[in-house]
Amino acid sequence: MRSNPNYDVVKEPRGFIKCLEVFLAIFAFACATGYRGNLKIDQTSPDAQPKAHDAQGTIQYPFSQILEMPFIKPGTNGSMHTYTLEVDQRSKIEFFVFIGVMCFLYSLGMLVYYIFFEENNTMNATPVTSNWLSPPIIDFGLGAFWTLFWFFSACAFAAGVNALKDQVNIESLTGDGGAFAEPCSNGYKCEGTNPKYATMTVAILLGFLNVFVWAGNIWFLYKETPWHNKSLASAGAPSTVQQPPSQPTAAAI
């Protein structure tokens, strides 16, 4: 552990980007886990009365739940019946949250290492060729690994949100074959409002923004590795090509 913490590392690209990765990861999985969407359906009876009943349901993380919404069952003289809707998009969205939490912990851990444990930067510039477990190489390899999984999780999360939108869309729920088709038939009409997905859209954008930030950080991590230092040393080495010896001048006659 360093005797004096090196807080100046946050002014360097690798330290500053690590701070950015910590905050972006927090916002990404917080938007996903903190989402709450309200599904509301108004059931109107076929007689002169206006709204006969309002049914509401809440959709939230981990998006694996059964919504129970009571409606007036047609042909039963106004008796109520509970209809269920199974929502299951847990795997895709939990994968996104898991990657976000792991990247948050990794970025925070590396930031702590930079500040409190890393020796002088000149030690990292030594062109080591045999030590594959040096911190710069480990950071570079894991950075590339998490960049790839940020991309996978962001794509999976976007697919899960689109599937969720289709699954809880009022038109599909109350149409033929929908979970609430029966209470919206035989003269009964159903209208309502779909859940708002602004928070989920922000989470998707943050997921792909994390991909961009982590991919950009790979370059700065590569500059800390011995491979980059070796290439610089090779480029700056003086030329060693020997010139052929000059021919002796002919003796003057």
Residue 195 lies in a domain: yes
Amino acid type, 238: P
Residue 64 lies in a domain: no
Beta strands in 73-145 (DSSP E): 80-88
- With the CA atoms of 115, 118, 121 and 126 taken in that order, what torsion angle do they form, in degrees rounded to the nearest 10? -160
Q: Which of 21, 194, 175, 169 is nearest to 103 (CA)?
A: 21
Per run of 10 residues, the mean pLDDT along the chain (length 253 residues) is: 84 91 96 94 76 84 91 84 92 96 95 85 43 77 94 97 94 90 89 93 97 91 69 49 48 41
Q: List, for residues 47-80, the tens digit of each pLDDT value.
A: 755 556 788 999 999 999 999 999 988 888 778 8
pLDDT at 129: 42
Give Rg (Cα) of the chain: 31
57: left (phi over 0), alpha (psi -120 to 50) or beta: beta
Residue 34: strand pairing partners = none
Q: How many domains does the chain have?
A: 1
pLDDT at 27: 96
* pTM of the full structure: 0.81
Residue pair 41/52 in contact by the 8 Å Cβ criterion: no
Residue 79 lies in a domain: no
Expressed as residue numbers, the domain containing 23 is: 7-37+89-122+132-228
Residue 69 lies in a domain: no
Residue 239 lies in a domain: no
Residue 49 lies in a domain: no
